[in-house]
Amino acid sequence: MAEYRVLNPDEEVIDEVEFNNAEDAYEWFKNREVPSGQLGFRMEVNVDGDWRFFDQTDGTKSRG
């Protein structure tokens, strides 16, 4: 399983969860974790201890 986390527009981690695949993680991100389609949220995936950009709502700068 891979570990995913969601960061709010202030780059604070608001939730972390594990999924078997990226499709389920994306559905979780866009349908549950991002309130009403708000802008500036980002999802990252843990790859061998390194958090990497996975997806982002429009409206914020990406560090990844």
**Amino acid, single-letter form, for residue 22:** A
Contacts 24+ apart (CB under 8 A), 31-36: 33/6, 34/6
Full-prediction pTM beyond 0.85?
no
Q: pLDDT tens digit string along 6-61?
A: 999 899 999 999 999 988 998 888 887 776 768 888 899 999 999 998 766 554 45
pLDDT at site 58: 53
Please give the C-alpha separations between residue 45 and each of 36, 37, 55, 60, in angstroms, as whole numbers: 22, 20, 9, 18
